[in-house]
Chains A and B, each alone.
Chain A
Amino acid sequence: MTRFSRPLRTTRTLRRLAVAEARAHRGRTIAAIVTVALGAGVLTTTLVFADTMRTAVDEGLNVGYEGSDVIVNADQGSGVDEAGASAGRGGNGIARADVARIAELPGVAHTATLVRATAAAQVGAVTRGINLESLATGRSFVWQRWAAGRPPQAGNEVALTQSSLHELKIGLGDRVALGNPSVGRSVFTVVGIVDVRGSLSREGSAYGIVTAPVAEALAGINDANVVLIQTLPGVKPSAVVRSINAKAPVGWPESTRDLIEADRQVQGAQIDALSALVTGLAAVSLIVAAVTLATTTGAATNSRRRTIALARCIGADRGNLVLLVVLEVLLPSLAGAVLGVLAGVLVARLGLPVVGLIPGLPALRGSAFTVPLFDVLAPLIAAGVLALLAAVIPAYLASRIPPTAALSGEPRPESRHPHRTAAGLTLTAAVLASFGAWGALYGPIHDKWWLLVAGAVLVLIGAGLVLAPVLATTSRWLARWVKAPPSRLAFSDIVRRPGSASIEAVAIVLAVGMVSLSWVALSCIGATTSARLTASDQPDLVVGAPAGSPIVTSSVLSRLRHIDGVGKVAAVPYGRGVTIEGRGTRSHVSLGIGTVAADPASLSSVLPHGFAVDRVRDDTVYLPTTGFPPFPAGRTVTLEGPDGTVKDLTVSYVKGLEVPSAVSAATMRQVSRQLQTRTAWIQARPGADRGRLSDEVSGAAIVGGQLPVSGPLVIDVRTGRALAMARATAAGILAVAVLVAVIGAAATASLVVSERTREHAVLRALGLERRGLTRLLVSRVLLVGAVASAVGVVTGAVLGVMTGRAVARGLDLPTEVRLPLIPVIAIAALTVLLVRAVAVIPLERASYVPPSRVLATE
């Protein structure tokens, strides 16, 4: 025998033993495989989704620029489409002569043009803003394809994307009204479905193709507003950009590479943040799986105490036992990880169409499906490492079992002094939780985020430790009140052996705690931002803008006033063509930012804290306080307008002034008799459905000429929706963690039950009916599940509030605490029911223990 053959043979023997053990306890092995498979599967799915999304973004960013090396956009118009190009009414076109000059520049191979415009699309009561384009004039520049139908050829034809048709609830051959206030509206027939081949900018919002004349009419121009350029081979696009700027200064030339890179940075940052969040949540499932592995293995080690001691008696050393336990954990874990990874990849592939239905996420095509080696290896390695960690404590405990334990008839009592043990555990838990809470509170204050994480881990460990005393106390209390003998027996058992009951529950505490944490934290963050926005000095909604946007017409104002949920609407009158002239800190300043003829009474009616100026003086120009004041305070300036000039107006800076500048109505009349309503301020009615109000006001603003809509209510609604989405995502992913924990708890309960087969047989022999035995087992499982869920909910809520507080502090906001009791309690109740459901098979099997088993010697 060589020097190494003996250890190898021992390892082989131990591996054989581990496999035999796995075969002998199929239920436990299957539970271990399923839990690890679920954890690894969710992690794989999220990783593959994230990479597929990145690929889709790359493909989507490139596809819209196919055939073009340089793009020249016309001057900025009133609207900006998703691609960042200027378009819409009021912009300038690029004259044909300028296009011809560009085509003659050195390095340019081919040019083409197209027209971009924005409009409102309306079908019945549904109104959407839509980006429209004509097809590029050069065939090689046309990147769009046709999913159905054909391109528009006549002036009353339009082709729309499938998602646009879906939004407008119409199909091929149906009719849709397109238009804007400057050109009116016209009815178009849908003749084709555009395939935008995953272009993010076209899929993110409504998009369609019209003929060039229609697009020009909607854009309010007579020429194209986009020039597409192909460069000669070997010519750098940047050189052509420089050449256009130098020799044909028209529009805004940019290389497509720069445009793609800029978009990639924006999209990439969003996807990175999203995938980090989702992957983090998915990793929780794998961690919970590791905890369940540790608990089931620990319980299995305890139930095999005598067998392990016998192994020691016949010569196995501690190392052998450690290796045995490690192999028992590692083998099913790796099998589960492999299955999980395969299932995860499959689920990711099958789930691609679902991603596109989630608002804010790109539609994923099969061609973008990407499975990098990392996505496969990372869950496998993570599962292996976590399995090793899960085996550490059970392996250590197994190695500490003395050979003399083989001689003892009864299992070792859990504790000789249960009360002292409970007090010690409670004290330790309290100390750990206190340190954890201190870390979680202190860390964010001093920008030490690791302290928050470490604190959260300590609080969770504390929650795990306090489980046993809480279970014992609850069971003792219940045993006093419950009359049914089976339930009393179950509770008495927990009172005596709270440790083994708490082992079943640790994973549930972790999983439910994470769900509770995410819900409470997101609710607190939502409430904090909402409170901040509600406390703002601004009106709830602002339609229009002081400059660069169409005027808010009286019909729009009327439409706004009739929207359900609108309390008051104030038209903010701006003087037409008014500027403020004067000497700034260094040189002459001419401010054309928009000046309001202020009527404090009218404006105060829609502002939460009233207009910042009570009485507007005729000799004063009011400007909002900023970090960069254009004029020194108190300086005299001149107000100039089409109808006159007013000199020697004193500049006064006002904190919280919600307009760019303001004068009295009398002063305004002297310089500009024609007032324009450039913005409308809206105050929401208390109790109004803010989401619906925001949507309806946005719809009216689109119809009113693509008017921008802003204000705290819009941000509040957007934030609320984003947080709701985050909550749903977190709940969805963490539901897998809960399922993993529940399966683990059922497996551990099943082990505990099988360990007590003789006790159950005694009870049956003494006259306990099968139904009574089932009741006993169910009472135990329900109590353990309920206490674990309650401890998890409370721990998660505490950590959630701490996290919300940390985030609020990071945003420099006072914390608003929100405890969404109903959903959190519902989660806990569902978890208990899930525990009951998953434990059905092991408990039913256990209840079939024949009373004759009582005579079996082992």
Chain B
Amino acid sequence: MVGRVEEVGVAEPVVVASGVRKAFRNPQGGAPVIAVDDVHFTANAGEVTAITGPSGSGKSTLLQILAGLDRPDQGTVRIADQEITGLGDRALSKLRRRRLGFVFQSFNLIGSLSARDNIALPIELDGRDVDEERLEELAASLGLTDRLDHFPGQLSGGQQQRVAVARALLIDPDVVFADEPTGALDPDAAIRLTDLLVALAHKLGQAVVVVSHDPTVAERSDRVYRMSSGLLTEVMPDRLARGARS
């Protein structure tokens, strides 16, 4: 496999979080619930970084903070050398439009737009002209060529998720954040999507941060973090562990 990582030789950190903490008010009173506790995290370009853990461990909250969707109580997050925790709404919106891609569990496509319009949406929101050639190319690489004029209601779950991936990639982001991207897919589709994300990360040199409790995702990722009760620890990816054992 040829990728930018190999070309550069050294993995370049794109997402760096230091000492991130986030707590929520306890609805039943009492002490606040700490969702993320003093987390340090790094995701490199051209790598898939997985965050795994049981439900309620705080991994989705961490993803929101890393992606600038929410603000931490403490700590900093840097994306490609830009400190994002202090940015205002407009700057964060611009950052999301231009440098971040998102893939969600329930696809989150806009029902009133066709697949083509959904893919082009972030570019259009940025007021830029859509590069139709690149869009077609991307759609072809994701097997969506004959589905571009369909509406989300007319697509299968796997197709919808591929449209979401295309939407995330069209802007050529620094990082793609994916929250349980395989959660709504059958096992075969889940494996195909994970392989696709890994291949694209390696090929395009983008950092991909995936939150998932799907073992197939952790198995195929370059780097794996485990989250438990708000605490994050880096673990060896399964394939490396297997390799080490063998």
Binding site for B on A (CB under 8 A): 409-411, 413, 485, 488-489, 492-493, 495-497, 758-759, 761-770, 772, 850-852, 854-855, 857
Contact = CB atoms under 8 A, between A and B. Distances in A.
A767 B100 CA distance: 9
A855 B94 contact: no
A752 B96 CA distance: 26
Nearest to B113: A492
Contact of A855 (B64, B89, B167): B64
A765 B117 contact: no
B114 to A, nearest CB: 9
B184 A409 contact: yes
Contacts of A772: 93, 125
Interface stretch (B13-21, B104-112, B137-145, B213-221): B104-112
B70 interface: yes
Given A489-B110, A769-B89, A854-B104, 8 more contacts: A492-B112, A493-B110, A493-B112, A759-B110, A762-B104, A762-B108, A765-B102, A766-B96
27 contacts: A409-B184, A485-B124, A485-B125, A488-B124, A492-B113, A496-B111, A496-B112, A762-B108, A762-B109, A763-B121, A764-B93, A765-B96, A765-B102, A766-B121, A766-B167, A767-B94, A767-B96, A767-B98, A768-B125, A769-B93, A851-B69, A852-B64, A852-B69, A854-B102, A854-B104, A854-B108, A855-B179
Which size class do B's interface residues fall under? 35 or more
Given A850-B70, A852-B64, A762 B94 contact: no
Contacts of B93: 764, 767-770, 772
Give the one of B95, B97, B121 with max A CB within 10 A: B121
Contact of A765 (B69, B89, B94): B69
Contacts, number: 90
B126 interface: yes
B111 A855 contact: no
A410 B110 CA distance: 11
A762 B111 contact: no
B54 interface: no
Contacts of B97: 766-768
Contacts of A770: 89, 93
B60 interface: yes
Contacts of B105: 855, 857
B46 interface: no
SS class of chain A's interface: helix, strand, loop or mixed?
Answer: helix
Contacts of B153: 410, 413
Contact of A496 (B60, B95, B121, B151): B151
A773 to B, nearest CB: 10
Contacts of A855: 60, 63-64, 69, 104-105, 179
A410 B111 contact: yes
Contacts of B111: 410-411, 413, 496, 759
B127 interface: yes
B135 to A, nearest CB: 15
B230 interface: no
Nearest to A770: B89
Contacts of A409: 106, 184
B180 to A, nearest CB: 9
B126 to A, nearest CB: 7
A156 B205 CA distance: 109
B53 interface: no
B126 A767 contact: yes
B230 to A, nearest CB: 17
B134 interface: no
A497 B153 CA distance: 13
Kindly list the 4 A-B residue pairs having the minimum CB-CB distance in the complex, ordered from nearest. A767-B97, A496-B112, A767-B96, A493-B112
A759 to B, nearest CB: 6
A368 to B, nearest CB: 58
Contacts of A851: 69, 96
Given A767-B125, A769-B93, A758 B108 contact: yes
Contacts of A763: 110, 121, 125
A767 B97 CA distance: 4
- Which has the most chain A C-beta neighbours within 10 Å: B60, B63, B111, B152? B111
B245 interface: no
Nearest to A766: B122
Nearest to A760: B110
Contacts of A493: 110, 112
B90 interface: yes
Nearest to A773: B93
Contacts of A759: 108, 110-111
B112 A495 contact: yes
A411 B69 CA distance: 26
Contacts of B121: 763, 766
A767 B125 CA distance: 7
B155 to A, nearest CB: 10
A758 B107 CA distance: 11
B152 A766 contact: no
A766 B102 CA distance: 7
B112 to A, nearest CB: 4
Nearest to A412: B153
A856 to B, nearest CB: 9
Contacts of A761: 108
A405 to B, nearest CB: 14
B149 to A, nearest CB: 13
Interface in B157-188: 167, 179, 184
